[in-house]
Amino acid sequence: MVKGDAGSSLAAATIVLDLDTIEGNTRRLAKHLPGLDLVGVTKVTCGEPAVGRAMLRGGATALADSRPANLARLRAAGITAPLWLLRAPAPAQADEVVQLADISLESELVTVRALDAAAGARSLVHSVVCMVDLGDLREGVLPGDLLPFVEQVAALRHVRVAGIGVNLTCYGAIVPSEENLGELVRLAADVEDLLGRPIVVSGGNSGSLDLALSGRLPGGVTSLRVGETILLGLDTLTREPLARLRQDAFVLKAPIIECLVKPSLPRGESAQDAFGNRPVYQDRGDRRRAILALGRQDAYPDLLTPVDRRVEVLGASSDHLIVDVEAVAPPPQVGDVVELIPGYGSVLQAFTSPYVEKEIRGGPDASTGTGGR
């Protein structure tokens, strides 16, 4: 709890980002993964250039994001490192993509042909990583279709097959293993035989780090696309802290706009809330409750952990976060600030929300109160 007053405290919810933590986490991972390229993923911060620069200072060899607008933000900030587009574009975005991205992840021939035409019109060659689905059921061709797909892509004049890749844990929550990543390596060998040259073998996202850090990553994987573990310092398979990394890159701060003693059980006939849920309440008697200037439009309430353990998150509407502060002594006042540790989904929402201010600390890119995106 940060004390303030109604006239001088925080005016709006603010997410505070520490660049030193991000740079340090990247450096520690790079140190423990020699010979493996780390592609730093900036998408949770909407392509924040300061985050990208911190990752590059820490040893990332390239940056990646899922949206062309975020790649444009990185380029406009003067970042010259290779940029990867993680989400395959719609064919109508092809011209934009070949201008912004050095590499894109692809699994549909119609899209690759659109990229080939756009690159040809600009006298460019665009590189693609051909994605293969090894069980997670998100993007990628099936293993038996990979070689025919690569062969058709390789026949195009203005697109180059840079490598193959896989995505795991994001949809089907399939754990990266020696078996499925071993299959990726075997498929890569077949592709290299077809092309007659070495290729990039992109072995997934932060979920593959457990294998890599324990020395069980199959030989032949050349790169990983890592965002969440660098940013939050967590093992994404368990959400447990990784011993080598820091977990203090983000703090979400919000001012108290009401603080009153009220019954803990609503009064009257209950219906659905604004999000179609039927909440269940426990009668704990009268309790002091604070309302923060923060809501579901800005962060997932279930992914917010108060820094002050005496504070308990009760729930949220679209723009009000309700917390129990009965145990806080002396009682907080309107204008005081509550600090919360956001989980991945809440970091994503906070950076996307134009109503949450962004404050950057540490490193050469420190700034204060940068507003929306």
Active site residues: 43
Using only the alpha carbons of the chain, give its radius of gyration. Answer: 23
Beta pairing partners, 342: 304
259: number of CA atoms within 13 Å, CB side?
20
Q: In sequence order, which ranges of 159-259 are alpha helices (DSSP H)?
A: 178-195, 209-213, 228-232
- Helices 146-154 and 109-121: crossing angle in degrees, nearest 10, is 20
Token reading at 372: 């929306």
Q: Are 241 and 233 in contact (CB under 8 A)?
A: yes
Pairing of strands 159-165, 126-131: parallel
Contact 176, 168 (CB under 8 A): yes
Structure-token pair, residue 129: 């990583």
Nearest to 101 by CA among 54, 68, 60: 68
